[in-house]
Structure 1
């Protein structure tokens, strides 16, 4: 199997929308997925044998990046693709002279939290009741990573 990190392109968007709905209990609106990227966007995709298996949306402003959304097709999770995609995002930020990456993760998303922590992200704060949840609201854990 050959995997590669590529810029997220219009031909990916049908698969992105499918994965977004399958991977998230509260997915982004389709209009957000299909919105044309602006000049600060850092949107990438992970392809395996030419097939989209994951994507992330991010942005970079004045050396500070934000990872806005990341997902791996639920049928393909647990194979290390999330780490590949996250590493690809870090490399994309590094190649654009980014110095720091910020993200927020649901408190209940322990698999993602563990991946971020293992990659070198540190939890620095919490936003109480930030995300909608099935039983009301849940906290967002704010994490940061310093690009070397």
Structure 2
């Protein structure tokens, strides 16, 4: 494609009608995907949720964030396999950080699998730093995988 990715996509609030497309991306992206109920519960309780769309308004990525007591937590950020590598995750992460700043969060936290090298590069590029390891946090085919706990200080 010759179109710049930032011209190609938009980021908007996730709607209930987006959940089937979000769930499809989740299921092809993860061995242990979130259920439809988890996504609907996140919307119901008011977590901040966004989708990235292409020119045809097709959902190509999504992100969810909770904010409480001065701390924001990235709950999920995922891009459709055929849309990866085009800046979609960057745009979604910008939306998450912007929301955290708007709510005066002092810090943004997230967990990432050590094996998810592309996500780790994204977070490093955006200024996140490793602050801890959560042993056995994620389910994995051979048992459990640790999570790296990353933080971005906003103040």
TM-score by length of 1: 0.93
Shift of 1:146: 1.3
Q: Residues 35-68 of structure 1: CA distance to partner in whole angstroms, max 9, x if unpaired?
A: 24324x1111112212211111110002210001
Alpha-carbon separation, structure 2, partners of 1:130 and 1:3: 32
Do structure 1's residue 102 and structure 2's residue 109 form an aligned pair?
yes
Secondary structure of residue in 1 paired with 2:99:
helix
**C-alpha RMSD over aligned residues:** 1.3
Moved over 4 A (4+): none
Q: Equivalent residue for 2:151?
A: 144
Shift of 1:14: 0.8
Q: Equivalent residue for 1:123?
A: 130
Secondary structure of residue in 1 paired with 2:33:
coil
Q: Are the equivalent residues in 1 in contact too, given 2:19–2:36 (CA < 8 A)?
A: no
Alpha-carbon separation, structure 2, partners of 1:138 and 1:64: 25
Q: Equivalent residue for 2:18?
A: 12
Alpha-carbon separation, structure 1, partners of 2:95 and 2:148: 22
Q: How many residues align?
A: 147
Q: Residues 58-110 of structure 1: CA distance to partner in whole angstroms, max 9, x if unpaired?
A: 10002210001110011211111111111111112212222210000011111
Q: Equivalent residue for 2:35?
A: 29
**Unmatched segments (≥5 aa) in structure 2:** 1-6
Moved more, 45-54 or 62-71: 45-54
Q: Equivalent residue for 1:88?
A: 95
**Unmatched segments (≥5 aa) in structure 1:** none
TM-score by length of 2: 0.89
